[in-house]
Amino acid sequence: MKILAIESSCDELSFGLVEDGIILANVISSQIKNHEVHGGVIPELAARLHLENMPYVFEELNRQTHLDWKKVDYIAYTANPGLLGSLMIGKIIAETLALYLGKPLMPLNHLEGHIYGATIDQNFAYPLLALVVSGGHTQIELVKDVHDFKIIGATLDDAIGECYDKVARIIGFPYPGGPEIDRLAQKGNPNRYSLPLAKNDQSYDFSYSGLKTAAINLYRREQSKPDFSMVDFCASFQKAATEVLVKKLETAIIKYQPKTLIIAGGASANSKLRQDIVHLGEKYQLAYTLVPSLQYCTDNGAMMAKLAWEKLQAKK
């Protein structure tokens, strides 16, 4: 069974091709350079660039796979959540292909795709406990099977990735600034500067607007001082941003007793979070702890193709 999936929810247009659970291609057209000058994604520009980049994605998919389009069994696409204009472009591409080829269409959830992107080339068992972290989302999901997702905790305001990028923008790092904070944080002292642990309570929910404001104020107050250390600031910020995530995830592990622990989403590329997730899996001796390959952390079509394949397999 061969599935073509289209991901277009934000500023990447990507085609993923899977056959019998094996990823055959994952073509991505990124717009980071186009949005860098604006310090963030401009929705209207993102949708327009999807149209401009579409020929490249088709051509590269054909170059990599020499695809016989008539042998594609399903056309899947990201239906939600995401930027409305970007989602519409992906939907139109998918509907056009499905109509032309006479193939069934599968609308999919973007966040579910991220979770199953972490399972590519890796074994897993249900129930899954997934921490989904990105520029637009921060949440913990309990997954009992591919059709049963339950959000047990989520951010009440900013997502962790947005918090990173806003702080990075004030510092002057280029967009996206989160990876640069992570890189510098690895060289610094995380206890040098004091920052609040946002929503440090017994719930599974998160809040990052307060940490964002506190970090920006701290930077503006300290950055002109002779002893200011950028690496220590980044390390201290990263500690405050990730510590509460790990704490709440650990509480959820104890309550829900998952067999598989997953981190997914764009911010799952963060080195500190990746280390912490592996440590939690080892601490509680979980059967599987999945940290996605870096190529599957950011938005991509392969993760959506894998999700589609899992859903179809579950129906057999």
Q: Reading across the β-sheet that carries 105-109, which strands appear in turn?
A: 22-30, 12-19, 2-7, 74-80, 105-109
Count how many domains the chain has: 2
Q: What is the pLDDT of residues 242-283, one digit of tens each?
A: 999 999 999 999 999 999 999 999 999 999 999 999 999 999
- Residue 94, domain extent: 2-118+296-314
Residues 148 and 114 grouped into a single domain? no
CA-nearest of 51, 40, 4 to 24 is 4
Which two tokens mark 95? Answer: 């509907």
Quote the pLDDT of residue 184. Answer: 98
Nearest-angstrom CA–CA distance, 310 and 27: 20
Q: Give the predicted TM-score (pTM) of the model.
A: 0.94
Alpha helix segments (H runs only) across the chain: 32-36, 43-65, 84-101, 110-117, 160-171, 178-185, 209-222, 230-256, 271-283, 301-314
Q: Which residues are annotated as a binding site for Fe cation?
A: 110, 114, 299
Which two tokens mark 203? Answer: 């719930």
Residues 205 and 251 grouped into a single domain? yes
Residue 149's CB is within 10 A of a number of other CB atoms, namely: 16
Residues 84 and 143 grouped into a single domain? no
Quote the pLDDT of residue 151. Answer: 98
Does residue 300 lie within any of the structural domains? yes
Does residue 123 lie within any of the structural domains? no
Residues 213 and 252 grouped into a single domain? yes
Quote the pLDDT of residue 218. Answer: 98
CATH of the domain at 219: 3.30.420.40
CA-nearest of 205, 195, 186 to 270 is 186
Contact between 76 and 91 (Cβ < 8 Å)? no
Quote the pLDDT of residue 29. Answer: 96
Residues 225 and 172 grouped into a single domain? yes
Residues 141 and 223 grouped into a single domain? yes
Q: Which residues are annotated as a binding site for substrate?
A: 132-136, 165, 178, 182, 270
Regions of the chain with pLDDT less than 70: none
Nearest-angstrom CA–CA distance, 124 and 187: 34
Quote the pLDDT of residue 315. Answer: 83
Q: Which residues are annotated as a binding site?
A: 110, 114, 132-136, 165, 178, 182, 270, 299
